[in-house]
Amino acid sequence: MIGRVFLASVLALPALAAPAVAAADDCNPKKGTVQLPASEPWAQKRLDIKNAWRLTKGAGVTVAVVDSGADLHPQVQLSKIIDETHTGYQDCVGHGTAVSGIVGAHYIAGVPFHGVAPDARIVMIKQSNKAEGDVAKLISGIDDAVAAKADVINVSVRASDTPGLRAAVQRALDQDIVVVAAAGNVTGPDDQEVPAYPAAYEGVLAVGAATPDGRRADSSNAATPVSVLGPGTDITAPWPGRSYMRGLQGTSFAAPYVAGTAALVRSRFPDLTREQVRQRIIATADGTVGAGSGTGMVNPVLALTAVLPYEAVNAPVVAEPPPAALPVGAIAKVPPRDENAFGVSLAVAGATLVAIMVAGALALLVPLGRRRGWRAGRVS
């Protein structure tokens, strides 16, 4: 109840004047709610996002969201808005507000919802007043994201393969930007065998939708070469009118959970290339089977703590001058250990060690028990 009262008071902030929208009659998003349950949404708990915040909240990283705009919301603070539609920043469908909120909505005590990377800078690039959008404006939007020096681009839009779109995505990849895109939803028989773009392009982190048990949602497009899954059913997210929408479905809302994770990884490991960030997220997912599942549900905590030996092998080798000799009697300074990362990594390593010990004990005792017919041994 305290959370609901606080939430209602925050959402009652005075309205700011919004620029006129070209087609006001068409700008009519569904009505949201200010009444949220006291408990956190399942997606936040499943991904253990607050535990990942012990290491980083995404500071220093810019995420560009190419979508339908974003309405003013107490939790969604945008650093910049680029309007390709020339109709004003207002979100006429709610899609862009929800997606940008999932990426980086700020934490407010008493409000159960929060984003994945609340300290990341969010740049909203409005490419449509509708959910589908126009491929020409999508291309321009991706180029806008490159010009804005984004570190991560989220595209929760499904389009067809065109030379222009392919080239725009490649320009982003060439600038070392992590491109995250939704795998698309199956809305009819015609969608089942058609991959979604830009998610299907090589080098893109393609995201399918997952249910709370970690399996691919039936509506998630398996024809797209999925990299990982993100929460994509019964999603809660910010919504126009300083409200929230519950029960959202689809890969559109799964992608920003992965884009937010990419922001955390880029903040934690700033020297990794975009391909290394992509591979780290893929390698540390929870694991699953089946077409359209990739390597399973994204795991932000493991993405920030896992030790991947091949990263050092693939990293560029830079010649460094030999260290200067220390004066006589001087003591070399040892770099401080990151206690937060050490603690999280130690917990993961400890659990793994226990599992290995149990497996070893069983391998020794089971054959012995069989030879004895599972009778108790003699007392000497």
Q: What would the two tokens of residue 274 be?
A: 């975009």
| Residues taking part in catalysis | 67, 95, 252
What is the distance in angstroms between the CA of the first residue and the CA of the last residue of the chain?
A: 66
> Are the beta carbons of 238 and 113 closer than 8 angstroms?
yes
Tokens of 54: 């012990």
Determine how many CB atoms are found less than 10 A away from the CB of residue 148: 16
The DSSP H or E segment spanning 2 is: helix 2-11
Q: Label residues 322-340 b or e (16+ Cβ within 10 Å = b).
A: eeeeeeeeeeeeeeeeeee
Q: What is the DSSP letter of 243?
A: E
276 to 33, 135, 265, 309: CA distances (angstroms): 40, 29, 10, 12
CA–CA gap between residue 72 and residue 191 (Å, rounded): 34
CA-to-CA distance for 252 and 73, rounded, in angstroms? 20
Residue with tokens 């793994």: 352
CB-CB contact of 245 with 33 (8 Å): yes
To which residue do tokens 């600038």 refer?
175
- Cα separations in angstroms, 174 against 59, 169, 196, 275: 23, 9, 21, 11
CA contacts within 13 A on the Cβ side of 256:
36
Buried b (16+ CB within 10 A) or exposed e, 224-243: bbbbbbbbbbebbbbbbbbb
Distance separating alpha carbons of residues 59 and 331, to the nearest angstrom = 34
> Which tokens hold the place of 202?
């090589």
Residue 224 DSSP class: S
